[in-house]
Amino acid sequence: MENILDRFLRYVSIDTMSDENSDSQPSAAKEWDLLELLRNELKALGVEVTLDEYGYVMASIPSNIEKKVPAIGFIAHVDTSPDASGKDVKPQIIENYDGGDIALKGVPGLFLKPADFPEMLHYKGQTLITTDGTTLLGADDKAGVAEIMNAVQYIVEHPEFKHGPIKIGFTPDEEIGRGVVKFDVKRFGADFGYTMDGGEIGELEFENFNAASAKIHIQGCNVHPGYAKGKMRNAILIASELNSLLPVEQRPEYTEGYEGFFHIVAFNGTVENADIAYIIRDHDRAKFERKKDFISKTCDFINEKYGDSTVTLALKDQYYNMRGQVEPHFHVVEKAIKAIEMAGVKPKVQPIRGGTDGANLSFKGLPCPNIFAGGLNFHGKMEFVPLESIQKASEVILNIISLYAQD
């Protein structure tokens, strides 16, 4: 079999950053490069596979046992976050990590430090894959892609491995919330699924945030500052005032666990015009609705103060908590817990402080918990992934398949 590290490095070398300002699907033409590669690699392994006009790779491996068992799907996304560049990724391979600071050699003086990220110390003695400080790494979710492809290769090359029907899916645009908008669950053909898109080793999640985006436009009034008294309305200051009205304690840097937040992700302005973008998150649906109502009322207040045409709000739901869709099929969680334990890893069942394709797939009728892919510090230059975590995640995939075949 191909070394899983070589596979992972091949995938991260391809720039697949999605584009939230694009209306096409995939949102960035360069995503096709990896999607087409994956299709071709699956074909070369002798696996039945399609790549449709929306950028969905769907593959199927038929059962090799007589009894009827559920078809199990494994899904990962190929795109990387627009939060940081994914072009010309230059991974660093740190073998037998000693617990010290790691120089990110693409940026002089930049280090990945346990003082800042103490979880690094959990991986002493292992092989860490880091960035060089100039880009993100792309383990979110190319680690998941590599883990699935590694499992597929094992199954193809080991016909003695007993399994039911297996479905494989690779999607674009997950990072911009559009990963499975046009995903045909019926055509995919799985009864139950798992996204390989979680964080550090052992993580298993079947509940996630309810999510919305809020885009706010502020219309100011620019007048020569020498003659501005009683006339100027500075859009920058109004936008800053609006932001100050949102609860400080509900910013992401002050929240954890099940606590939701308002997160300002973009601010661009002049005296005449300003634009603010937020994401709104909460696991509890009632609290989520109250957060959306709060930001709407905040905009209403600003309009009452400065005039009705001052603020325009575009509020859009992105995805919902999948817990209610997964719990009626709780065996998918129990199987994953057992599969993780079989790999010699302690399961960490916890809520996702984010979202996955699995959330939207669950609402499309495919219950789909999320399993660790192994990476940490996603979406930025401090991202890293232990090689051993990637290997264990691929082992978990095979364990899940085996458990369903045995039942």
Q: Which residues are catalytic?
A: 79, 174
Note if the bond before 26 is cis, omega within 30 degrees: yes
CB 167 within 8 A of CB 72: yes
293 alpha-carbon distance from chain centroid:
26
Neighbours of 72 (CB within 10 A): 23
Token readout for 300 is 């209403």
CB 79 within 8 A of CB 31: yes
Map tokens 């039942």 to a residue.
Answer: 407
Map tokens 């008294």 to a residue.
Answer: 229
Burial of 303 (0-12, 13-18, 19+ CB in 10 A): middle
As a whole number of angstroms, the distance between CA 250 and CA 167 comes to 40
State the angle between helix axes of 387-406 and 139-157 in degrees (0 to 180), rounded to the nearest 10: 50
283 alpha-carbon distance from chain centroid:
16
Q: Where is 372: in which H helix or E strand?
A: strand 370-372
State the angle between helix axes of 387-406 and 4-12 in degrees (0 to 180), rounded to the nearest 10: 110
Select from 40, 50, 81 the least CA-distant residue to 378: 81
Residues 6+ apart with CB under 8 A from 334: none
Question: What is the per-residue burial (b if ≥16 Cβ within 10 Å, else e) of 195-229?
Answer: bbbbbbbbbbbbbbbbbbbbebbbbbeebeeeeee
Token readout for 62 is 């038929």
φ, ψ of residue 345 in degrees (nearest 5): -120, 140
- With vertex at residue 82, the alpha carbon angle to CA 105 and CA 349, rounded to the nearest 5 degrees, is 90
Token readout for 379 is 């979406």
